[in-house]
Amino acid sequence: MRMRQFGTTPLKVSTVGLGCNNFGLRMGVDAAQPVIHRALDLGITFFDTADVYGRRGGSETALGKYLGARRKDIVIASKFGSPMDDAGAMQGASRRYMMSAVEASLKRLNTDWIDIYQLHRFDVTTPREETLRAFDDLIRQGKIRYAGISSVAAWRLADLQWTARQLGSKPLTTCEVEYSLLVRDPERELIPAMQKHGAVLLPYYPLASGFLTGKYQRNTPTPGGARITRDARYQEMFMTDANWTRLENLTAFCQQRGHTLLELAFSWLAAQPIVACVIAGATRPEQLEANVKAADWALTAPDLKEIDRLTQRA
């Protein structure tokens, strides 16, 4: 497994990480054991989770149960802020809620610290100064190492980073956003803001919910049990005419070079300097093995230029 520097931090993480959103949801807590242990065997050292994953707590509970003594060898990124109860009382980014949310996550994860603690959604009801100071206190207390945010607009990130510096607080280290060969919107504003203000990108939906795995062909039935098959929302998001054309062009690009579409999806993200780690979910150990191998294609500058043209981002 190749390792890479995690932004400007002293952390080094595996190029491929494990997204743990399926733990406790599509698969039970105990069913996650073989996936977690195989990830460790393969050298995966970055695990991405959230308090709401796995029916509110299941994902963190699985990691806490099955990482064991290997916890010290890995980097855990978790998120908070999304509703953890039906009444809507347990959510947001107020200092009071952050302090209780982190304690609950630490308990489920069976650990003394969280490496990357990210706000899941920007909270417009809480002053940003309050959130940033709370992050700072958690860092000083040793309960988290670095702070970040998910699904944020470029102007909000710039504002948060500027405010942190004005307060003398630690700036945010990460942004977790949707980014893939088919979703390159962050390149317009967010990635330039991240580069200017010192944050790295964690991409979710790196395979466009499975659309970039090579299993899909235009005008043919979708694979049974697949996420896109199960949920019409994902069909609307990804199965557009434009994306079908991109998919066919990218598939031909791969075939000409003796590689697969899965390898391209992972290796293209790994080639982006702003990407800290390529994270993808898995429900079976063999999926992990394929993901790890897929990131080994060393794309050349001409390759990247051609990919830009094929995805209409030249």
Question: H or E element: which one contains 175?
Answer: strand 174-178
Q: Is 179 among the residues known to form the active site?
A: no
Q: What are phi and psi for residue 222, nearest 5 degrees?
A: -75, 150
Active-site entry in 53, 179, 204, 234: 53
Cα–Cα distance for residue pair 92/84, rounded to 1 Å: 10
Please choose, from the candidates 85, 115, 110, the residue with its C-alpha nearest in 3D space to the C-alpha of residue 97: 85
Q: Cβ neighbours of residue 53 under 8 Å, at least 6 residues apart?
A: 20, 21, 23, 24, 25, 59, 60
Among candidate residues 143, 249, 151, 158, the one with its CA nearest the CA of residue 197 = 158
Alpha-carbon torsion, ordered 35, 1, 172, 118, to 10 deg = 0
**Which contacts of 82-91 are long-range, i.e. CB under 8 A and separated by 24 or more positions?**
82/50, 82/51, 82/52, 82/120, 82/121, 83/52, 84/51, 84/52, 84/56, 84/57, 85/56
CA 227, chain centre distance (Å) = 17
| Residues assigned a catalytic role | 53
